Amino acid sequence: MINTKREGEIRIPSGCAISGIINKDGTRIDGGRVAQSIAVMHDRSNGLGGGFAGYGIYPEYKDFYALHIFYNGQTVKEECEKFLEEHFEIINLSKIPIKRIPEITDVPLIWRYFVAPLPTKLADSQLDENEYVLRCTFSINTRIGGAYVFSSGKNMGVFKAVGFPEDVARFYKLDEYSGYSWVAHGRYPTNTPGWWGGAHPFSILDCSVVHNGEISSYDANRRFIEMYGYKCTLQTDTEVISYIFDYLLRRKKLTLTEASEVIAAPFWEKIDAMPEEDKRRLTYLRTTYPSLLITGPFSIIVGFDGGLMALNDRLKLRSMVIGEKNKTVYIASEECAIREIEPSLDKVWSPSGGEPVIVRLEEQK
């Protein structure tokens, strides 16, 4: 590790496996199930990164931001906690429970804080609550060396490490958490990052992204999004995709479908032949956010409060399958990962390139 650059100092392309489950009726399932699914695609990852995000896992703290933080050591933890105390009311803090296993090594300190912005600080900042939390996490990640916030949403949490995803699930004891939706990721980077922060999912507030592919538009996307206060510290595709979603959904107030139409825009040829209304909307979106078009292969699952979205690049250069059984929707890189946990599906299909599949909790519809 000594001779290689850490993630963020160098751009590392990677291939991957992704998997996601959501119960539309809100029934909670434990994280072991999605781990079982992603484990089938073992060969799509190479042990250099695995991770999960679960939604609805902290119902008792659902009104507070759950910050998951990696620390290199005790000193930086103290420095970071001082920062947290200055900016937040800390409702609860604890070590995230882990199980020591031989497959997962070089374990950092992993802590969890349930917080609310300090009302006076929030008022002074003239920001809304989400933006305030976002800026604080950017501050920690860019200014406090050795501290890294890897999860910052409400009633959701990210769990990730260097290792195969099935080992990461055991390490974090994910079968002890239950949520209405889960996403999982197994990573196949072309270089050894050896850093936990570089594993996926990548999340920003309650929006988390797992991604398979290598986007060719990366630097165009990065240089655009960095104009608006985002800092791509990891130089990964997933990070920039997460910021793009945050920018389009939260800042620009676009719908998920509209955001998909920006990042996986239909070809002009198709737009030109569309009815006037669609043509106008798509022309507006493509010409307003040309630098947020994502090219190159990708399949992604976006987790958000109350739902999941699956999306492929517009040429469908990566595999992605959707399966349905009663009120449960499964998304995975390969069908086998779905069949592993639900052999008899009502329906199974592959969405076309650029076609977003959005699944929401029924009560929120």
Partner 1 sequence: MPINYDDNIYEVVRNQERCVNCRVCERQCANLVHKYSAEYGCMVSDSMSCVDCQRCVTLCPTRALKIIKNPNSYRDNANWTEAAIKSVYKQAASGGVLLSSMGTPENYPVYWDKILINASQVTNPSIDPLREPMETRVALGKRPQETVRDENGRLTGTIKNALFLSVPIMFSAMSYGSISYNAHKSLALAAQKLGIFYNTGEGGLHKDFYPYGKNTIVQVASGRFGVFKDYLDAGAAIEIKMGQGAKPGIGGHLPGEKIGDEVSMTRMIPKGTDAISPAPHHDIYSIEDLRQLIFSLKEATDYTKPVIVKIAAVHNIAAIASGVARSGADIIAIDGFRGGTGAAPTRIRDNVGIPIELALASVDTRLREEGIRNDISLVVGGSVRNSADIVKAIALGADAVYVATGALLALGCHLCRSCHLGKCNWGIATQVPELVKRLNPETGSERLINLITAWKHEIEEMMGGMGINSIEALKGNRLMLRGIGLTNKELEILGIQHAGE
> Known catalytic residues?
16
Query: What's at 338, amino acid-wise?
Result: I
Buried b (16+ CB within 10 A) or exposed e, 290-314: eebbbbbbbbbbbbbbbbbbbbbbb
| 298-327 binders of partner 1 (CB under 8 A) | 314-315, 317
Cβ nearer to partner 1, comparing 237 with 342? 237
Question: Binding partner 1 by CB under 8 A: which of 258, 305, 334, 340?
Answer: 258
Parallel, antiparallel, or unpaired: how do β-strands 109-117 and 357-360 relate? Answer: unpaired
- Report the nearest approach of partner 1 to the CB of residue 263 (Å): 10
Token digits of residue 57: 């896992």
* Options 16, 293, 300, 320; binder of partner 1; rule CB under 8 A: 293
The interaxial angle of helices 256-263 and 237-245, nearest 10 deg, is 140
For residue 349, which amino acid is it? Answer: W
Residues of span 89-128 touching partner 1 by CB under 8 A: none
Q: Write out the binding residues for partner 1, residues 1-60 only, by CB under 8 A.
A: 11, 13-15
CB of 282 to partner 1, least distance (A): 10
CB of 138 to partner 1, least distance (A): 16
Choice between 35 and 41, CB closer to partner 1? 41
Residue 268 or 349 having the CB closest to partner 1: 268
The distance of closest approach from Cβ of residue 331 to partner 1 in the complex, given in angstroms and rounded to an integer, is: 22
Closer to partner 1 by CB, 61 or 188: give it. 188
Answer yes or no whether residue 290 interacts with partner 1 by CB under 8 A.
Answer: yes
> By C-beta, is 13 or 146 nearer to partner 1?
13
Nearest to 213 by CA among 289, 286, 320, 290: 320
Closer of 25 and 219 to partner 1 (Cβ): 219
User: Which of 84, 95, 64 is CA-nearest to residue 139?
Assistant: 84
> CB within 8 A of 19, min separation 6: which ones?
34, 37, 38, 41, 183, 184, 185, 301, 330, 331, 332, 333, 337, 338
Residues between 215 and 234 with contacts to partner 1, criterion CB under 8 A: 216-221, 223-224, 226-228
Q: Is 190 in the site for partner 1 (CB under 8 A)?
A: yes
**According to CB under 8 A, which one of 3, 277, 347, 365 is a site residue for partner 1?**
277
CB 257 within 8 A of CB 351: no
Q: How far is the CB of 299 from partner 1 (least distance, A)?
A: 14
Least Å distance, CB 280 to partner 1, is 7
Contact call for residue 356 and partner 1 (CB under 8 A): no
Alpha carbon distance 148, 294 (integer Å): 27
Using CB under 8 A as the binding criterion, the count of chain residues that bind partner 1 stands at 45
Position among 41, 183, 240, 254 found at the interface with partner 1 (CB under 8 A): 254
Interacting residues toward partner 1 by CB under 8 A: 11, 13-15, 190, 213-214, 216-221, 223-224, 226-228, 252-254, 258, 265, 267-269, 277, 280-281, 283-288, 290-291, 293-297, 314-315, 317
